[in-house]
Structure 1
Amino acid sequence: MLQLIIDGLIYGSIYALIGFAISTLFMTTGVVNFAIGETITFSMYVGIITMEWFHTSYLLTAIEIILLTVLFTVLITRILVLPLLKHGSIISTIGTASMYIIFPILTVGLSTQDHPFPKAPIPQMNLGIISSWDAVIFVITAFVAILLHLFVMKSSWGVGIRAIKSNQSHALSIGISVGKIVMITAILSGFIGGITGLIAAPKLLLTHNLMGTPFMVALIGAVLGGLNNPKGIYFGCLLLGVVQSITGGLFGSISREIIPILIVIIVLVIKPEGLFSSIREKRV
């Protein structure tokens, strides 16, 4: 049982990182970027091909992947999200979903094969029931969660994010540059997405569906915790990962997918704003 809980926390950590990438743009636009998972996968394939063809170092490849994910996220935000947002967040979300279809086609064009992706060169330690890489995943996710919370709650840009999230018209009236803040959150979303790919691919194997299922589970976990709440997303995704792991271990793989979703549906019927929405946010 302990091993199932640990496995759940590790997969929940990966879900949380994806949830953060979704949430950062959602907080300022109300749009769920359905393309973020596929842009991560495409960038990872570009990175592994570059590494194999040109023998680039891990560090250079990692920088390339993060920059590509940021670039694609910014372009999608600039070309699709913002222009379509005037027609409503639903139309803008559908616009990002079109990229959810296009990017896998581009990825297959790069390579039709699955690839093992190397881990960052870190010291190997004997940690007993948890591997060194799993420990890295858990620690990095917790660190990103803390930094994202501090960014949103303490920084001057965070003030703008919270103002836009609360009332965009009021934010404009007090001189906050909504477009600039939105693009900052797009950059942050892409940056977190790139990090997610780098720590998830060695664990999950680099396939064309690298972020397909994890993205949907992460979205469920983020909604469970509260899409506007980084703390809630973190704990919601960890909880979902643990529930998945325990139900899958005890009742089989089908229950791993079905039971957590049923739990989320029940929770959201009772508390639509998310399970952890009671965590207070500092007012602007």
Structure 2
Amino acid sequence: MDFTVFAQQIANGLVNGMAYVLIATGLTLVFGVLRIVNFAHGEFYMLGAYITYFIGTLFGLDYLAAAAISAVVVAGLGIAANKLIFWPLRRDHEFTILLSSLGLALLIANGGELLFGADPKYVESPFADEVLEIGTVTLTQQRVLVFAAAVVALVAVYLFIRYSRFGKMMRATAQNPDGAALTGINIGLVHTYTFALACGLAALSGALVGPTVMIFPTIGNWAVLKGFIVVIMGGLGSVTGALFAGLLLGVIESLGGGYISLGFMEAIGYAMIIAVLLWRPNGLFSTARGLR
């Protein structure tokens, strides 16, 4: 086995996996706290990429500034979506909420095609064409940025959930919403800002990954599929599980595509889900109900 090729595949897999983790963390937060399976999560990823593209193109802002603004704007859209759709349905059957999220996904995707056009677009970044060599591994600076920014974002989210006052409110709401409300926690506020945080993470992922691929209005289908694969493998509600499952998926996909076939790569995720569900139906890191 050529060690150089192997190391390159591992590096590619880790970068891809960290992008998956960033997408899946938002899904995990929404399910862990709100108990919502959000099929529209991928569309917020798509909006993050497109808003970054248009801010950079129309206003000429720096790429990093455009990505940050995009994450904030999409987080604001997440607040609106929660207030208008998910919070009013919180007492309804879970299937009703699931269908509502699917309807929202279709609305955003088709609205995006009408607004942005169906032609693929490319997010301009000064890091996209610059190459960085790390030993025998060669990566574009953009892909290194994806990995580094995802690490920083995930550490910040973990510390926020673990040690901040609002993070403790999130964990209490995830474990027992009624009990949390009795202690004076504003459940509505927790739901709203948890959903906003999840949408912001999805948008950040779209803004970071956008310069490495062509973007189009239905790219959210890919994002939400990868996100759900990671969440199911890691365990619903487990941030730690999402981290390890995302990296594992990225590395195995990269090795499978490099040594077997690129056509086989997309099937790896489904095979991994089947294997995990047969072995541990609740995911690799499943524990008691709550956010962890």
Please report the TM-score for the alignment, with normalisation by the length of structure 1: 0.90
Matching residue of 1:70: 75
2:212 counterpart (203, 216, 230): 203
Cα deviation digits, residues 6-43 of structure 1 (max 9, x gap) = 11111111110000121222221110221121133134
Kindly indicate whether residue 121 of structure 2 is the aligned counterpart of residue 112 of structure 1: no
**Residues 74 and 187 in structure 1, CA contact (< 8 A), matched pair in contact too:** yes
1:177 counterpart (170, 186, 189): 186
Q: Any unmatched runs of 5+ in structure 2?
A: 1-5
Alignment of 1:101-250 (within 5 A): 101-109=106-114, 110-119=116-125, 125-128=132-135, 129-131=137-139, 132-250=141-259
Cα deviation digits, residues 35-79 of structure 1 (max 9, x gap) = 121133134324423433343443553344223211221111111
2:29 counterpart (10, 24, 35): 24
Amino acid at match of 1:243: I
Q: Matched residues in 2 for 1:57 and 1:258: separation?
A: 37
**Residues 15 and 215 in structure 1, CA contact (< 8 A), matched pair in contact too:** no
User: Quick one: percent identity of the two aligned structures?
Assistant: 23
Q: Any unmatched runs of 5+ in structure 1?
A: none
**Residues 33 and 93 in structure 1, CA contact (< 8 A), matched pair in contact too:** yes
**Residues 123 and 210 in structure 2, CA contact (< 8 A), matched pair in contact too:** yes
Q: Matched residues in 2 for 1:62 and 1:86: separation?
A: 35
Please report the TM-score for the alignment, with normalisation by the length of structure 2: 0.87
Aligned to 2:219, the other structure's residue is in SS state coil
**Residues 29 and 89 in structure 1, CA contact (< 8 A), matched pair in contact too:** no
Q: Matched residues in 2 for 1:215 and 1:199: separation?
A: 16
Structural RMSD (CA)? 2.4
Give the direction of change, closer, same or farther, for the CA distance of 1:282–1:72 in structure 2 (3 Å limit).
closer
Aligned to 2:121, the other structure's residue is in SS state coil
Residue 185 of structure 1: how far off its partner (Å): 0.6
Kindly indicate whether residue 103 of structure 2 is the aligned counterpart of residue 98 of structure 1: yes
Amino acid at match of 1:149: Y
2:50 counterpart (45, 53, 63): 45
Q: Matched residues in 2 for 1:60 and 1:6: separation?
A: 27
**Residues 164 and 171 in structure 1, CA contact (< 8 A), matched pair in contact too:** yes
Number of matched residues? 282
Q: Matched residues in 1 for 2:12 and 2:45: separation?
A: 23
Q: Matched residues in 2 for 1:50 and 1:159: separation?
A: 35
Give the direction of change, closer, same or farther, for the CA distance of 1:115–1:180 in structure 2 (3 Å limit).
same
Residue 176 of structure 1: how far off its partner (Å): 1.3
Amino acid at match of 2:67: A
Structure 1 residue ranges, 4+ long, deviating more than 6 angstroms after superposition: none
Q: Matched residues in 1 for 2:253 and 2:48: separation?
A: 28
Matching residue of 2:3: none
**Residues 56 and 124 in structure 2, CA contact (< 8 A), matched pair in contact too:** no
Residue 136 of structure 1: how far off its partner (Å): 1.5
Q: Which moved more, 1:45-54 or 1:148-157?
A: 45-54
Residue 147 of structure 1: how far off its partner (Å): 1.6
**Residues 236 and 276 in structure 1, CA contact (< 8 A), matched pair in contact too:** no
